Structure 1
């Protein structure tokens, strides 16, 4: 009777930590033995369109282009807005990353000031492999698209000129989302230019979150603002995955 009870108790006992570790190791080894399909640029691109942000920005691009063609009245002055935006984009990207995405929550008059963009970016740093967190949150993106387009329509003297600028914003927005997604995917760099962009952003996430803020460019703004140090001289930050230390 006592022997049977002892046997039953040992059977029902939870697995030890050593047993659990062996099981996990065996599962990992089995996963490594399974043939893996190579990660291609085409497959990564198809995966990109599984998320709402690319469709939202792409849809805005298509609609804006259609309206711009319908309005007509193309002039050489249509170019100065897009040219200025492209020239300033590395700096704008740096400023948004530092002051919007890395916003530290503050309490003012008993109210905590925080934003959805900053909260989601902190989550993104916490788990850079969580793909949905790579993209601009769709609820924030709605307001970003409305805001950019409203400002453009008010700021430019002609509707056609405003639409040309809005087109350039949509193109750069889609480029940003694609580049950021590609960096965090399993696709490995094949060109020197992309490898530099890939390396900079990986250093930002896994080395030190206080440097390497550019995403789509090869550190133009980081060099300008002094956030492009030699990685060998920078200590690994304990808060790279926990912005502001929680």
Structure 2
């Protein structure tokens, strides 16, 4: 086999592996949202949280996954225009499969309505008897799935687009964008839950506090999956142009170099 053919085969296998991993991460994330979080009324922020709020306002008639997909389409198009084609297929696969799996697991896909894992007696019992543990499981699944997606260079669109574009066009720090967007979504969802009278078991404010706890756990898990447990990494670069490389690392990447 010629070297070019071998390289092409390896590249295709690597690409296929990435897509399978992104879909697997999307499924894990969907389990966390569809099975553990939607009926608990604890929103994870971003487009998924906004879609859950719409679901509550509609009297649980509008599917969460479909709403997520519709919200993400204009953001996806905007992301491609602002960030280029590299934003492309992986993100489309990520948010499309995630939306599909959420509706599949909740029985909202036509012809597959019998799959309603959120109504399983074990999940219902957990929701009624150990609410904090339920939210913790949802947080871990959400963070694990999202971390896998990010690890293989995918995204689920949504707030990721806003953060990336905000950083590129206005120099905004992604963390600030996420914090503002998620806080607004959680607040809006709290009002939606209260407006629909869905806070009889737990006050809307309490559910909002659970939502911030959810974000804390899931975001830290994402960081662990992407970066590992080490807080610092170093690389030894051997080159005939050390000054140019050091300048690029320090000035353009914002890292340290010696």
TM-score by length of 1: 0.33
Instruction: Select the structure that is richer in helix.
Output: 2
TM-score by length of 2: 0.32
The structure whose Rg is larger is 1
Higher relative contact order, chain-length normalized (CA < 8 Å, sep 6+): 2
